[in-house]
Amino acid sequence: MKWLSTVAVASLTLASFSFNTQANIIIGGMGGLEGYGTDETYTEWAPEFNLPFEVKLGDNSYEIFRPRQYGTIAFLESASLAYNGDFIAPFTATGNYDCFGCGQTYIGSPQEGVVAVTWSEMSTDAFHQESEDNRYNTFQALLIDRSEDTGQEGDFDVEFRYQKLEYREAEEDSEYTPASQAGVSTSTQGFISLPGSGVEEILELAESSNVGETGIWVYNFRDGVASLASNDTTSEGSGTSVDPFMPTEVVDGGWEFDFSVEQEEQVFIDPDVAIGYDYVVESGPKIGSVYLPSGFDADYELWLMGNNGWEFESNLLAEEEFLFGSDGVSEFRILGIDTSNMINPEDDMAFVTGLTFVDSGNVVMTQTPITEFVAAPTAVSEPSHILLFLTGVGFISLRKLRKQSAA
């Protein structure tokens, strides 16, 4: 069955043979047999699918794409393994045969504005034999719409996620089976490769990064121009709701984050565990807006620092962005989650918060928990799997404090 005419939102923002396999960095939860969406295992001539947003590569804009089992995403009919035209290549290997056990290619969407193509357990060895010594590659490409952040239609990011890379095409001089490549190509810039592309070191992409998180490589496309994202952050994560920025250290009982932002770009931060929140920018641009998760039966309260301490400002709704104004704020407090939502304090789940900033730059900020004693709880409730996913995997609870006690 052909995939939907536009990418649907799922059930609801990377190495020789002794390679290290880090924790799973492949985004799932998109339905289908493996959780990666629909199985679209094609060979070279893949059919085209509609994108839910426009992408611009070079001088050309597209609303369609062609995922290929060989490890590329093509946009032009003529774009091929010759590395010209407009295409995206997380990891090319012409020997990714279409056979039982040779691997599958999936298409899905973990959230609105994101398209995911996943190459799972790809293997040339499996075409010839079934053996415990067979080598496998598993990797993923995310296309992330950034037009709302930049105000420019067609702006997007490409995120390559390499779970494991155990083999490559090694015939550098062969016209028919060129050495494995990784990168992006536009008709105006040509092929912009990742380190090791075309040689054995390409397998090390699964053990390195340009954004500070092992195995993840990111390109930015702005007005059709592609560039590798810079690593100006020490906080792990990519800042999406499914992969939020994580704290760099504990500071005075709270969590400190260090990451770069673009003006009005919404990013998500996530503490290890939290039961209340003070958000304070220590250096960098001020906060322009906040976006709070659902799932807590919460009557959120926003408090701002005044002359006499914390002062109640407004009630906030979940999943609705609240704007602080053009000047932004350097600190704010969120209250209002009922104690009936309390989760186990030993749980490493947390509270994912979306933030935008009034300017671009590097941000150092803290998120400090507000705690309150709750006597003799009889049970610790935990949200359902689907609810966890809907809120970006992050839950905490907090006794609703009276306004006067927070001042």
Residuewise pLDDT in 10s, the chain (407 residues): 333 223 322 222 222 222 333 458 899 989 888 899 987 765 445 677 889 999 999 999 999 998 887 888 988 655 444 445 899 999 988 655 555 667 788 999 998 999 999 998 887 765 666 666 778 899 999 999 999 988 999 999 999 999 999 888 755 444 555 788 899 999 888 888 998 888 888 999 998 888 767 898 999 999 999 988 865 556 666 565 656 666 666 666 555 766 666 566 666 655 443 456 788 998 889 999 999 888 765 678 899 988 888 888 999 998 899 999 999 999 998 877 665 555 343 343 457 788 998 988 888 888 776 654 443 333 333 333 323 323 333 322 222 333 333 44
**Contact of 191 with 228, CB cutoff 8 Å:** no
Residue 30 — left, alpha, or beta (φ > 0 → left; ψ -120 to 50 → alpha)?
Answer: alpha
pTM over 0.85: no
Q: What DSSP line would sit under 199-235, residue for residue?
A: SGGGGGGGG--SSSSTTEEEEEEETTEEEEPP----S
Nearest Cα residue to 271 out of 251, 288, 297, 291: 251
Give the start-to-end residue ranges of the domains of the chain.
38-228, 249-406
pLDDT of residue 57: 95
Rounded Cα gap, residues 386 and 162, in angstroms: 26
**Cross-strand partners of 367:** 255, 279
The structure tokens 């002062």 sit at: 311
The kind and range of the H/E element at 388 are: helix 385-390
Give 193's contacts (C-beta < 8 A, 6+ positions apart).
181, 182, 183
Report which of 245, 276, 281, 296 is spatially closest to residue 345, judged by C-alpha positions: 276
pLDDT for 394 equals: 32
Residue 267, pLDDT score: 64
**CA proximity to 209, closest of 217, 197, 201, 220:** 217
Determine contact, residues 96/88, Cβ cutoff 8 Å: no
Q: Which residue has the tokens 């932004």?
A: 328
